[in-house]
Amino acid sequence: MTQPAVSLEHLSCVFGTGPTQVQAVDDVNLDIEEGEFFTLLGPSGSGKTTCLRMIGGFTLPTSGRLSIHGVEMTTHPPYARPVNTVFQDYALFPHMSVIDNVAYGLMVRGVTKAVRNKRAGELLDLVRLPEVAARKPAQLSGGQRQRVALARALIGEPRVLLLDEPLGALDLKLREQMQSELKGLQRRLGITFVFVTHDQHEALSMSDRIGVFNRGRLEQVAAPGELYDRPATRFVAEFVGAANLLHGAQARKVCGSDNAMIRPERVRLGPAPGAQQTGSVSEVQYFGAFCRIRVACADGLQILADVDATATPAPVTGSVVHLHWHADAVHPIGEGAAS
Q: Are residues 185 and 316 in the same domain?
A: no
First to last CA, the chain: 38
pLDDT of residue 273: 92
Task: Compute the distance between CA of residue 313 and CA of residue 47 in angstroms, rounded to an integer.
Answer: 46
The CATH number linked to 30 is: 3.40.50.300
Helix (H) or strand (E) holding 63: strand 63-68
pLDDT of residue 337: 38
Burial of 292 (0-12, 13-18, 19+ CB in 10 A): middle
DSSP character string of 100-122: HHHHHHHHHTT--HHHHHHHHHH
pLDDT of residue 334: 63
How do beta strands 37-41 and 192-197 pair? parallel
What's the total number of domains in the chain? 2
Task: Compute the distance between CA of residue 114 and CA of residue 93 in angstroms, rounded to an integer.
Answer: 20
Q: Are residues 202 and 272 in the same domain?
A: no
Q: Are residues 200 and 276 in the same domain?
A: no
Query: Which are the contacts of 202, defined by CB distance < 8 A and separation ≥ 6?
Result: 39, 167, 175, 179
Q: Are residues 251 and 207 in the same domain?
A: no
**Could you give the C-alpha distances from 200 to 35, 89, 333, in angstroms and in order?**
21, 21, 20
Q: Are residues 159 and 304 in the same domain?
A: no
In a domain, 339, yes or no: no
Q: Are residues 155 and 26 in the same domain?
A: yes
pLDDT of residue 339: 36
Task: Compute the distance between CA of residue 307 and CA of residue 327 in angstroms, rounded to an integer.
Answer: 19
Q: Are residues 291 and 207 in the same domain?
A: no
In a domain, 143, yes or no: yes
How do beta strands 290-296 and 302-308 pair? antiparallel
Q: Are residues 161 and 15 in the same domain?
A: yes
Digit-by-digit pLDDT tens for the chain (339 residues) are 688 999 999 999 999 888 888 999 999 999 999 999 999 999 999 999 999 999 999 999 999 999 999 999 999 999 999 999 988 777 889 999 999 999 998 998 899 999 999 999 999 998 888 899 999 999 998 888 888 988 999 998 899 999 998 887 677 777 888 888 888 889 988 999 999 999 999 999 999 999 999 999 999 999 999 999 999 999 999 999 899 998 888 888 777 778 899 999 999 999 999 998 999 999 999 998 899 999 999 878 899 999 998 877 778 999 999 999 998 999 988 644 343
In a domain, 229, yes or no: yes
Q: Are residues 22 and 71 in the same domain?
A: yes
In a domain, 230, yes or no: yes
In a domain, 182, yes or no: yes
pLDDT of residue 192: 96
pTM for the predicted model, two decimal places: 0.90
In a domain, 56, yes or no: yes
Residue range of the domain that includes 312: 245-333
Residue that finishes a domain, picked among 188, 213, 237: 237
Cβ(151)–Cβ(120) below 8 Å: yes
Cβ(292)–Cβ(302) below 8 Å: no
pLDDT of residue 20: 85
Q: Are residues 64 and 208 in the same domain?
A: yes
Q: Are residues 43 and 68 in the same domain?
A: yes
C-alpha of 19 from chain center: 31
Residue that finishes a domain, picked among 215, 237, 259: 237
In a domain, 1, yes or no: no
Query: Which are the contacts of 312, defined by CB distance < 8 A and separation ≥ 6?
Result: none
pLDDT of residue 269: 93
Task: Compute the distance between CA of residue 181 and CA of residue 183 in angstroms, rounded to an integer.
Answer: 6
Helices then strands, counting H and E runs in the chain, come out as: 9, 18
Q: Are residues 165 and 295 in the same domain?
A: no
Cβ(135)–Cβ(95) below 8 Å: no
In a domain, 319, yes or no: yes
The CATH number linked to 259 is: 2.40.50.140
Residue that finishes a domain, picked among 237, 272, 306: 237
Q: Positive or negative, the Cα torsion across 195, 197, 200, 202? A: negative
